[in-house]
Amino acid sequence: MKKTVVNEATMAFLSRSSNESFARSAAACFAAQMDPTLNELEDIKTAVSEAVTNAIIYAYPNSIGTVYLKMRIYQGNLLEVTVRDRGAGIADVERARQPMFTTGGEERSGMGFTIMESFMERVTVRSAPGRGTTVVMRKCLSARPKAGAGI
Amino acid sequence: MEIQEKVGERALVLAFSGEMDHHGARDTLRRIELAIDAAMPRTLTLDFSGVTFMDSSGIALILRSQQRMRFLDGTILLCNVPRQARRVLEAAGITRLITLQD
Ligand SMILES: Nc1ncnc2c1ncn2[C@@H]1O[C@H](COP(=O)(O)OP(=O)(O)O)[C@@H](O)[C@H]1O
Ligand SMILES: [Mg+2]
């Protein structure tokens, strides 16, 4: 069954590190209409931060490129966040997703994908060397009764 | 990100404030290493009370600090870790490796 899209927003920004906080805040602002719990909001922010940071660091290591962030709300309080780049790509996605695997040196921990996986329900990664990477993350938010909706 | 240093009797406290992400932590690792090398502490305490957001960039800082302290035969503690950062540490299994204090 195809799920109905309730709302959608797309943005594109340059792969500058100052956009990391911009991107995760934008995602949290968009998700706010789903009436998330504070924990859910933090989960979304953190997962988006990880995916966007990867695009900024690894997709365009010696240049500035464009990072695309798409947020979709499906019926049933399901949030889908897509982070896409047209950069370097990942040769071995399975290996890249392993905890502690990093090509980023001592300032990176290799825990980015692990955190995305633990804070979102489903994370899929499509990538091709030289073509870019697409990370799709889904999370079903707890349906809470709207404030003031009566009991 | 800002770092406040308090040097005591073979103890060093580094108090962070701001967002501990890739952008905010750009030169933080070097500053931590310099502070440790200058103080040569037995105990390093990383105070997270002012950290408004943390992602896996913070994990790298913590693990590198721990390695440096091991090298000095010292110990490392984290204190005042806000909920969001704590949940990131738990997700990454760091709370099993490092002592968290309130
Ligand atoms: N968008 C991307 N483009 C190219 N390589 C990537 C991308 N995202 C992740 N990677 C690769 O996957 C590895 C693991 O990513 P991650 O788990 O976030 O750890 P870290 O960011 O600490 O390296 C990275 O070191 C990098 O080699
Ligand atoms: Mg990462």
Domain ranges of chain B: 2-101
Segments in chain B below pLDDT 50: none
Euclidean distance between CA atoms B2 and A16, whole angstroms: 21
Most informative mutation of A54, A68, A109, A116 for ligand 1 (most atoms within 8 A of CB): A54
- Judge whether residue A151 has pLDDT over 50: no
pLDDT of residue A2: 76
Minimum Cα–Cα distance from A114: chain B residue: B92
What interface predicted TM-score (ipTM) does this complex get? 0.96
What is the model's pLDDT at position A127?
A: 98
Residue A148 has what pLDDT?
53
Does A144 score more than 90 pLDDT?
no
Q: Which of B1, B21, B52, B67 to mutate to test the interface with A (most CBs of A within 10 A)?
A: B21
pLDDT category, A146, cuts 50, 70, 90? low
CATH numbers and ranges of domains, chain A: 5-140 (3.30.565.10)
Q: Which regions of chain A does DSSP assign to beta strands (E)? A: 5-14, 66-74, 78-85, 122-128, 132-140
- A114 or A151, greater pLDDT: A114
Residue closest by Cα to atom 1 of ligand 1: A55
A73, two tokens: 């709300």
Fold for the domain defined by B2-101: Transcription Regulator spoIIAA (3.30.750)
Cβ pair A109:B56 closer than 8 A: yes
